Structures are given as C-alpha cells and as structure tokens.
Structure 1
Amino acid sequence: MPDQIDRIDLNIIAALSKEARLSMAELAVQVGLSKTPVAARVKRLEADGYIRGYSAIVDRERLGEGHIAFVQVKLSDTRSAALGEFNKAVMTIREIEQCHMMASSFDYLLKVRTRDIVSYRRVLGERISALPHVAQTSTFVAMETVKDRQN
C-alpha cells in the first residue's frame, strides 16, 4: 500500500464503498473529522485514482439479466498482438460483465449475464466463439449467488 494514504483515507474508502451517496457531513462523522478536511481527502483520493468513480447497485435479475455463466476461454495464439485483439474485441460484447486474464490451463475467465440459457447460448455461439483467436470455451452456470461485494 502506498505511503500517501493513511488509516483515515482507508476508512473514507471503506465508508464510500458501502454507501457512495453519503454526504460529506455524514462521512465526516463516520471517520471522525470535520467536513472540510474530509471533502479535501475525498477530492485527493479521487484525483490520485484510489476512488475511480461511483455507481448504483442494480438488481440485474429484476432487469431480466439473472442468468450468470462463467466461461473459460482458451486462445489459439497467446502472443501479445493476439491478446490485444481479444482484449479489444471482448469490450464490444455487452453481456460480458467481467473479463480476467488467467494464469491457468485456460487463458481468460468471463462472467456473462443474459436473460436465460437460450440467450446465453446465442451469445456464446455467435459472439464469444467468434472473438479473435478463440480455440475453445467451457461454460459453468451459476445456480445461486451467495456473495457479491456489490450487495
């Protein structure tokens, strides 16, 4: 952890991670400082990239995107250029919620959200399998989300 953040900064980050809509006055009470220094610290944490943004926690199931599948992707070519092509192309598929390069027997792990298994099959067959250098995929369907740091 870099030296430029201290325990109070970490407490600010923790509080905002739980409730990003806290007012500066509420945040100040939680971390034990007055409003002005807390606001200055938040501004610095944002400028330094420790806080990259704020977002709403959306109930994806209510929006009809409750089907979650994890996809292992093995590429036919793992040279830098091929990885770059894959990385760029994966950004264009809205249903891919997360994409992680792995140190494993496969190259990437994708978290894919769709309406149901039928729409997932379409996304896999028509979009994911067509990504540059995809040689093989394996799918694991989530039956239940037990823990999600966003909730």
Structure 2
Amino acid sequence: MLDDLDEFDLKILEILQADSSRSTSEIADMVGLSQPPCWRRINKLKEAGYIKAQVSLLDRRKVGLNAQIFAQVKLSAHGRSNLAEFSEAIQSFPEVLDCFVMMGSVDFMLRIVARDIEAYERFFFDKLSQVPGVQEINSMVALSEIKSTTQLPLR
C-alpha cells in the first residue's frame, strides 16, 4: 500500500503521527505545499484508511495508572468459537489496552494497565480469570518503560 503514496503523503503521515494537532497550514509549510492541496491530501489519506483516528495520547501515570502488566492467556480449548468468545469478552475490559492472538505456547497476549498491583489483582481474580475457557494466565509486571510509541516506520 505504501507504493500508492508519494513523498508528500509520507511526510504528511509522519507529521500527523508525531503531532496530529498541527494545523493544515503548518503541515503544508513543513512539506512544501500550499494549504488547499495539503488539505486534499490529508482528506484522501483519511478516506483511504491510512489515518484511522486523530486522538490525544495521555500519560498513563498522570491519570493514576501506575502499573502496566503483560498477561499471557492460555485457553482450555482452541476452536474458533472459543477464541471468538474470549475475544468478545475481552472487549468489555477497559483495563486491557491491547490484545493479540499468538502462535506458540500461549493463545493471547494482553497489555493491561491498573492503578497499582492491588487493582490488577482485583481485575485478575474478578474479571480476567472468570472469562469462560481461560485455563492459565501468566502475568508479568513491567518495571519500567524503555520505549513506547504509536509512530509506525514508513520508510
């Protein structure tokens, strides 16, 4: 899909990934276009699905979410319906930021945030372990965050 994009499009996407609050005028200046064609390109990129959303990224610690946990989940059965049931259940948990289907010894990898370890313990016992079909959960608490980005490498 990147073959469909020219240098202007790539620069626009890089700028928006770094700071989506920039005005069209600022972006146009940064990429060397006038405002109207820059605006059209941004809209074209949105319509084509390159830009999924424009959001503000919050600092999880500033909002009191001091614990970040990675949980490996193994299900007791591996039929499509079992995977779908777990996937549907996990959607209702705001503590779960990311959920990936895995290959290998575990079925799912979750990234979870909580106020503290005690809050995670409540989530673990009251919610996650109660999802039908969950056989095993291996939790790993992140001690610190070395790199965390939402910017995709476009080149």
TM (norm. structure 1) is 0.95
- Secondary structure of residue in 1 paired with 2:84: helix
**1:11-22 equivalence runs, <5 A:** 11-22=11-22
Shift of 1:90: 0.2
1:78 CA displacement? 1.6
**Cα shift readout 1:48-103 (whole Å, capped 9, x = no counterpart):** 11001111111111211110010000011121111111111100011111111111
Q: Distance in 1 between matches of 2:7 and 2:108?
A: 35
Q: CA deviation at 1:126?
A: 1.2
The size of the alignment, in residue pairs, is 151
Give 5+ residue unaligned stretches, structure 2: none
Runs of 4 or more above 2 Å deviation: 1-4
Which residue of structure 2 lines up, in the alignment, with residue 81 of structure 1?
81
Contact 1:57 1:150 in 2 (8 A): no
Give the aligned CA root-mean-square deviation in angstroms.
1.3
Alpha-carbon distance, 1:32 to partner: 1.3
Give runs of aligned pairs for residues 1-151 of structure 1, distance below 5 A: 1-150=1-150
Q: Of the two structures, which has the highest relative contact order with CA contacts closer than 8 Å and spacing of 6 or more?
A: 2
Rounded to whole Å, the distance in 2 between the matches of 1:104 and 1:28 is 46
Unaligned runs of 5+ in 1: none
The residue type paired with residue 41 of structure 1 is: R
SS state of the match for residue 3, structure 1?
A: helix
